[in-house]
Structures are given as structure tokens and as C-alpha cells.
């Protein structure tokens, strides 16, 4: 049975330069129709367990919604499903988009994990990224959430920003830790082709105007190594390449993704994974709303995962976790059936110090984590995948 639910809220006040998720500017009347459509999609889903263990409301910026729409959505979920007694309900919020009324309402309605898109505590970096908030806004938002008893906070930070020095990254990390969230996610800035930032950097390179570029790879690795060491020293346990948590505060919803667990996605542009089939809803809010008015779920992409694709996903996602891949009989039987000697194919990377076997697990070493994407490519080549 499926116990994990993702809900996509595509609205933003302003799209950030680096973001390639489906999002649009906030519109009050459109938001009302969208929430109605989400509720309709929930009612049409047939294969969602009656017992939910995680709900993740992402975006976009879910916290831009009028509080009455948040109430309607969360109450509809409560009336449609049973919640596990220890259910994790996460909502993504951006500083400057949540007031005391909204914070208090979300807590009362059972939201118990808040993921805050701080990204940086350096105002110049925030301005460059196109964020709508500044450092002071982030501090006020966290103070407001604490006022209403929010304990499970996660802070998102970005490193590898054009012009960023390791000194400013250290300051942002330090400020985040001083706020004592239970979870910190640190993401290397990546260039996605359909983003404004990608076009800006490519244009700068072609015209030789200015010096807009990502930091050198060595500097990015230095930032990442510092992150691992500093967060470990301040009692944040790294459990995934980009994620660190105090004991007992891993993100259960995301762990389900990395374990290749099934989940249902609701909303425009949302993905689902059920019975080795990946589905995607139409990434167009107007088409999404029109379709659901006719009681049709607008799934535009449906892919049946092959055994080879499943194996690649299992390895890629498993090695993202710091515990690695469990080399149990089930996994070894899968690779053996494909004529692959997994350990021998991993031997080169083990001998080079990028992978290691600890007990029943194959995992990335500290050296391997810093260049993980390169290691994944090399491992797949060795495996013939």
C-alpha cells in the first residue's frame, strides 16, 4: 500500500533565477480553483492507502496561499484519510510569506515539519539569486514559527553561487546552526537549461562581458568538505549527500524517495511512482483545472520502468544515502540475474578509495561523496548499465 503523498503548489511571488520547477505567479482566483481541483484529484485517486505516514506540500511556494485555502486543503486531507499517529506533514515556506495567523493555523491543522527556503544569510547573494527576502526576513520567519511551538524546522542553503567565497558560506552555515533547526539541507547550485541563470551565464561567456560564472570546482569541493566537517562538529548527522539532521529528525518523506518507495503526487506537474510506473501530471495549471472539472486526472507522461532502469535507480539513490546500498540476497540476485558481478565491477572504485564495503553495505567514502556524480557515471560504465 502507498503511504506517502506529495502535493505540488505551483504558486510563487517571483520565480528565482535558478529554479526549473513548474511555478507561476500567485493569483487569488486561480488559487481557489486550483485547491478545488486538488481536492477533486484526491477524491479520484483509487490506490492511495487509507493510512498516510508522510505528506509533503512543496512548490513553488505553498506558503503564499491564502490561509483559507491552506485550511481547505488540509481539512480535506484529514477527512479523506487516516493519519498515522506519528505522521510527518511537511510544508515548504519562504521567508516573508508567512505571518502569525498562517503559522498558528498550520500548526493547529497538524503541520509538524517546516522546510524554510533561506538559501543564504548574505543579502547580496539573495539578491543575485532573485529571492524576495533578506536575512532579517528569514530570522523573523523562524522566530514566528518558534513562537507557535514549531520544533521540527529544516533550513535550505545553497552553495556554489557565482561570486560566492567560502568565507560567506561559512557565515551562512554558522548563522543557520545558531538558529538550531533540527535539519539542514545544503545544495550545490546547478545550472538548468530552462532557467534565467543558465541564460545569463551562457550569455556572459559568449560576450566576455563581466565575469559571471560558477565558482571553480575546487572551491565548491572546499565548501562541501567544510559543510560536512562543520555540521558534524555541531551534531548534525549526514544521512544523504545533501542532507544533515539531528538524531531522530531525518526527513521521512524524502527517505522514501531514496529507498525507491512508492508515492502519489498530486497537482500540476507532480510525479507519482506506483508499481514500477512513473507518472507525471500536466505541468499547466489551466489544463490541470479543466481536466479535473471533467473528473479526469491529467496524466501526460507514463513510463514503465525496465529492470535495468530500476537497477540504476536503486544504485544511484542508494549510494546517495550515507549508509549506502545493502548487499543482501535480494539485491545480489537481481544483479546476478543480469550476469553482473557487482562487487567485482565495483572493485576499481573500491581500490581507488571512492567506495567501501562496511558490513553488508557498499557506500561512498568521504572522498567519493565529494565527486559523487563522477563516481555514479563510472560505476554504471563498469556495470554495463
How many degrees, rounded to 5, is the angle at CA 5 between CA 90 and CA 269? 95
**pLDDT recorded at residue 366:** 96
**pLDDT recorded at residue 338:** 76
Q: Residue-wise pLDDT tens for the chain (385 aa)?
A: 899 999 999 999 888 888 888 888 999 999 999 999 999 999 998 766 679 999 999 999 999 999 999 999 999 999 999 999 999 999 999 999 999 999 999 999 999 999 999 999 999 999 999 999 999 999 999 999 999 999 999 999 999 999 999 999 999 999 999 999 999 999 999 888 888 888 888 877 665 556 788 899 999 999 999 999 999 999 999 999 999 999 999 999 999 999 999 999 999 999 999 999 999 999 999 999 999 999 999 999 999 999 889 999 999 999 999 999 998 877 777 777 777 888 889 999 999 999 999 999 999 999 999 999 999 999 999 988 8
DSSP designation for 370: T
Report domain extents, the chain: 4-258, 307-383
Report phi then psi at 206, rounded to 5.
-75, -40
Residue recorded with cell 536575512: 135
**pLDDT recorded at residue 45:** 85
**pLDDT recorded at residue 213:** 86
For domain 4-258, the question of CATH label 2.40.30.10 is answered with no
**pLDDT recorded at residue 209:** 57
Cβ pair 53, 87 in contact under 8 A: yes
Bridge-based pairing of strands 51-59 and 82-93 is parallel
Burial of 376 (0-12, 13-18, 19+ CB in 10 A): middle
**pLDDT recorded at residue 342:** 86
**pLDDT recorded at residue 192:** 85
User: Using CA atoms, how far apart are residues 129 and 327, in angstroms rounded to an integer?
Assistant: 41
Question: pTM, whole model, 2 decimals?
Answer: 0.95
User: Using CA atoms, how far apart are residues 210 and 206, in angstroms rounded to an integer?
Assistant: 11
**Is there a shared CATH topology between the 4-258 domain and the 307-383 domain?**
no
Nearest to 12 by CA among 61, 77, 51: 61
- Region 307-383: CATH code: 1.10.10
The string over 243-275, giving b where at least 16 C-beta atoms fall within 10 Å of a residue's C-beta and e elsewhere, is bbbbeebbbbbbbbbbeeebbbbbbbbbebbee
The neighbour count for residue 209, using CB atoms within 10 Å, is 9
Amino acid at each position: 500500500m502507498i503511504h506517502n503523498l506529495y502535493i505540488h503548489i505551483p504558486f510563487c511571488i517571483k520565480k528565482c533565477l535558478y529554479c526549473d520547477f513548474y511555478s507561476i505567479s500567485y493569483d487569488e482566483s486561480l488559487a481557489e480553483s486550483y485547491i478545488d481541483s486538488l481536492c477533486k484529484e484526491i477524491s479520484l485517486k483509487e490506490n492511495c492507502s487509507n493510512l498516510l505516514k508522510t505528506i509533503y506540500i512543496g512548490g513553488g511556494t505553498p506558503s503564499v496561499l491564502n490561509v483559507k485555502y491552506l485550511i481547505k486543503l488540509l481539512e480535506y486531507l484529514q477527512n479523506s484519510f487516516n493519519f498515522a499517529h506519528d505522521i510527518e506533514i511537511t510544508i515548504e515556506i519562504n521567508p516573508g510569506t508567512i505571518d502569525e495567523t498562517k503559522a498558528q493555523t498550520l500548526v493547529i491543522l497538524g503541520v509538524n515539519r517546516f522546510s524554510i527556503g533561506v538559501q543564504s544569510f548574505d543579502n547580496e547573494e539573495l539578491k543575485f539569486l532573485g529571492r524576495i527576502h533578506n536575512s532579517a526576513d528569514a530570522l523573523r520567519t523562524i522566530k514566528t514559527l518558534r513562537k507557535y511551538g514549531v520544533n521540527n524546522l529544516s533550513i535550505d542553503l545553497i552553495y556554489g553561487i557565482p561570486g560566492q567565497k567560502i568565507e560567506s558560506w561559512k557565515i551562512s552555515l554558522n548563522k543557520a546552526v545558531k538558529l538550531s533547526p533540527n535539519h539542514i539541507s545544503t545544495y550545490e547550485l546547478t545550472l538548468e537549461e530552462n532557467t534565467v541563470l543558465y541564460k545569463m551565464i551562457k550569455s556572459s561567456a559568449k560576450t566576455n562581458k563581466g565575469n559571471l560564472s560558477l565558482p571553480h570546482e575546487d572551491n565548491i569541493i572546499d565548501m562541501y568538505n567544510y559543510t560536512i566537517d562543520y555540521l558534524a562538529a555541531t551534531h548534525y548527522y549526514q544521512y544523504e549527500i545533501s542532507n544533515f539532521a539531528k538524531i531522530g529528525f531525518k526527513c521521512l518523506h524524502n527517505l522514501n524517495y531514496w529507498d525507491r518507495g512508492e508515492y502519489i503526487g498530486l497537482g500540476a506537474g507532480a510525479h507519482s511512482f506506483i508499481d514500477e510506473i512513473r507518472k507525471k501530471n500536466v505541468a499547466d495549471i489551466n489544463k490541470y483545472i479543466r481536466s479535473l472539472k471533467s473528473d479526469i486526472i491529467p496524466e501526460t507522461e507514463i513510463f514503465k520502468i525496465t529492470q535495468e532502469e530500476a537497477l540504476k535507480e536503486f544504485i544511484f539513490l542508494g549510494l546517495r544515502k550515507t549508509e549506502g546500498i545493502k548487499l543482501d540476497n535480494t539485491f545480489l540476485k537481481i544483479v546476478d540475474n543480469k550476469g553482473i558481478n557487482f562487487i567485482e565491477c565495483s572493485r576499481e572504485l573500491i581500490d581507488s578509495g571512492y567506495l567501501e564495503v562496511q558490513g553488508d553495505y557498499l557506500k561512498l567514502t568521504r572522498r567519493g561523496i565529494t565527486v559523487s556524480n563522477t563516481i555514479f557515471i563510472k560505476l554504471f560504465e563498469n556495470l554495463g548499465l
